[in-house]
Structure 1
Amino acid sequence: MISPEIYIKRALKAKYVDRIESIQTLWSGYGEIVRYRVHESGVIGEPDPHYVILKSIRLDKVNEHPRGWQSHHAHERKLRSYDMEANWYENWSSRCSKSERVAQCYGVWRSDDAIYILMEDLDASHYSVRKVKLAVHECLAVLDWLANFHARFLGIENRTDSFDLWQRGTYWHLSTRPDEWHAMTDSLLKEHANRIDSAMEGATYKTLLHGDAKVANFCFSADLNQVAAVDFQYVGVGIGVQDVAYFLGSCLSEENLSENLSFLLEHYFGELSRCLVARGESPDSAEKVVMEWDALFVVAWADFHRFILGWSPEHAKNTAFSRNMATKGVEFVLRRDG
């Protein structure tokens, strides 16, 4: 295994490389994200020196899960997620435009015991603001990003060439969370979890999901009007409202959700429709996508709430609002299935 500094120096044809700071350690001890300063790169050019980010994943190191969910199944899922993220940056990220801003990938290196993902430092590219909670109007930039991203990759499940991302995006979908489902107390949500899952899986219109679209995974410009996304470990196929439901639940208070959900969904779907038409879809086709995903929003919400109830029922996201949305999701699939 080569050191991060040597890898960066080789990948960027740099004269020398300085480690500046550790930005974040990865979940359950799988590695860290580090900022480096690169001098006299033959790849990047100006400015010099240049800052880059290296996500360093150690495949041979794992600690105890902070909530006790440590199993071989969980470990293998996590390892595969880092491989998928490397695939995303290596093979897919360059397809995104400024409207779906992501970090430029400078290289990916793999060995039996490590993965390095070398990428642009978004802080240095003027996306330096991080948020934990948002005001309602501050959500719009992220909803625009999601709408553009979902429009760009609509129909991805119909590709005939090689597909090296998750066949199903998100980290909480039912087939990958059997332990959490078994841990749930008996309820209608647990009883009908398969119906909820099938309603989304059987949707006519699918796209690529970010898969972990919480507010912490978006980097904001200083005026909060532009965003870039990071952390693509669970990027894969699904319906756009899975990202939307997860994002809104991550950044707004229960009161703000209750009072502003209709406005926020209208904004997302308006931007989604505009993007689809701009990409060549007919207005009628765009409307069909909007109608299907709008109807499935409560189902997507119920699906994530099912995960929360099994994973950590005392979690702050287990709110009265969320429970009500989950009930609506169950009612939807029961009506649909007769």
Structure 2
Amino acid sequence: MIPEIFIKRQLNANQVQYLARVQSLWSGYGEIAKYQVQMDNESKSVILKQIHLPENVTHVRGWHSEFAHQRKVRSYHVEAAWYQGWAVRCSDESRVAECYGVYLNEETGDQYLLLEDLDSVGLAERHARLSVEDCLVCLNWLANFHGEFLRPMERQDAAPSSWPQELWPIGTYWHLATRKSEWQAMAEDPLKTEAGRMSERLLKAQYQTLVHGDAKVANFCFSEDGRQVAAVDFQYVGAGIGVQDVAYFLGSALSEEDLAASLPYLLEHYFAELGQAIVARGESQDLATAVIDEWQSLFATAWADFHRFLLGWSPDHVKNTAFSRAITDQALAELTTLE
């Protein structure tokens, strides 16, 4: 289907005009574009995420395979399911774009995702790095997101559920089960040896929620004053624990020096906001405390789990810092106390 026709039908528009490409999708899978839409009583811009499956996939770092291709294809289906079935639960404290419609061509795999233009509602700022204080608004977003989607506790006699329906059963794009090639590429060291045990610690956490799965600073849209924020790119949303998002976000947003100086302060802020978010949805303070205690104990493991992926995927990456290695060593040391 022609994009303009799809937009016109979804919004009952009179005219649709292509404005500009916002960005290309990773490895040539399509583009994100901005359109101007004219309706009877309103004119506004919208965003169309257009997925077009390429015949030949080229990965910037050489990681391309049929397995990786199928993971990417599923990620777009998951994102559509997120916007259609889950995103409505997000509050102003965990703001996301409104979804106006989804289209999927079953034969070609091409897909459209029609979304609110966050730029047009005052969330037009993007950042590659943040100050410590500027991180707080994103930690608030994450805490409220994790608090809202905390998994309901199942009765002991209940059959296992398929939660979270239509999303990834294991969120994040780097988890070990889908990154065996990168694991095999790692140098032989304790992190490679213990990768399975680390992954199991995260998977067996008692308190699960939805994680964004790719909560890097580039996937947040800020107001000009930095006090409001929304998140985009939900291709890897699924089950996990909140500190997986927190670790990944902080590693993307802050310098090594800021992390070393301010990590305890940032974690304290996140957990305080998380506790408030859990209680605000009607849960007990005892539950909030239990969630916080468990996730605090798993922060280093969550950090090391991503560091494991990084060392296989791109060991010379700028995120392979002395600070990151120190947190990973802490996680490895914690494993020995469990033996």
Seen in structure 2, the aligned counterparts of structure 1 residues 319 and 94 have a Cα distance that, compared at 3 Å, is same
Q: Distance in 1 between matches of 2:118 and 2:318?
A: 30
State the SS of the aligned residue for 1:315. coil
Is the contact made by 1:157 and 1:207 (CA closer than 8 Å) also made in structure 2?
A: no
Paired residues of 1:81 and 1:234 also in contact (CA < 8 A): yes
Letter in 2 for 1:262: P
Which residue in 1 is equivalent to 2:67? 73
Question: Partner residue of 1:64?
Answer: 58
Partner of 2:142: 146
8 A Cα contact 1:199 1:333, kept in partner: no
Q: Does 1:97 align with 2:127?
A: no
State the secondary structure of the residue aligned to 2:248.
helix
Q: Does 1:285 find its partner at 2:279?
A: no
* CA displacement at 1:334 relative to structure 2: 2.3
2:273 to 262, 271, 282: 271
Aligned residues of 1:29 and 1:61 also touching (Cα < 8 A): no
Q: Which residue in the other structure is 2:233 paired with?
A: 231
Q: Is the CA contact 2:146–2:274 (under 8 Å) kept in the aligned structure 1?
A: yes
- Indicate the residue corresponding to 2:14 in structure 1: 15
User: Please, what TM-score do these two structures have when normalized by structure 1?
Assistant: 0.96
Letter aligned with residue 88 of structure 2: S
1:1-338 aligned within 5 A:
2-40=1-39, 48-111=42-105, 112-113=107-108, 114-155=110-151, 163-336=165-338, 338=339
Q: Residue 136 of structure 1 aligns to which amino acid in structure 2? A: V
Going from structure 1 to structure 2, the CA distance change for 1:83 and 1:60 (only over 3 Å counts) comes to: same
User: TM-score with structure 2 length normalisation?
Assistant: 0.95
Structure 1 vs Structure 2 CA RMSD: 1.3
Query: How many residue pairs get matched?
Result: 331
The list of structure 1 runs, each at least 4 consecutive aligned residues, that deviate by more than 3 angstroms after superposition, is 156-162
Q: Distance in 1 between matches of 2:88 and 2:19?
A: 27
> Can you list the C-alpha shifts for 1:124-147, whole angstroms capped at 9, x where unaligned?
011000000000000000000000
Going from structure 1 to structure 2, the CA distance change for 1:266 and 1:56 (only over 3 Å counts) comes to same
Query: Per-residue CA shift, 1:99-147, capped at 9, x if unaligned?
Result: 1100000000000321100010000011000000000000000000000
Task: Give ranges in structure 1 of 5+ residues lacking alignment.
Answer: none
Letter in 2 for 1:19: Y
Identity of aligned residues (%): 54
In 2 relative to 1, CA 63–264 (structure 1 residues): closer, same or farther, beyond 3 Å? same
Shift of 1:280: 1.3
| Distance in 2 between residues matched to 1:147 and 1:202, nearest whole Å | 21
Secondary structure of 1:123's counterpart equals helix
Question: What amino acid does structure 2 have at the position aligned with 1:71?
Answer: S
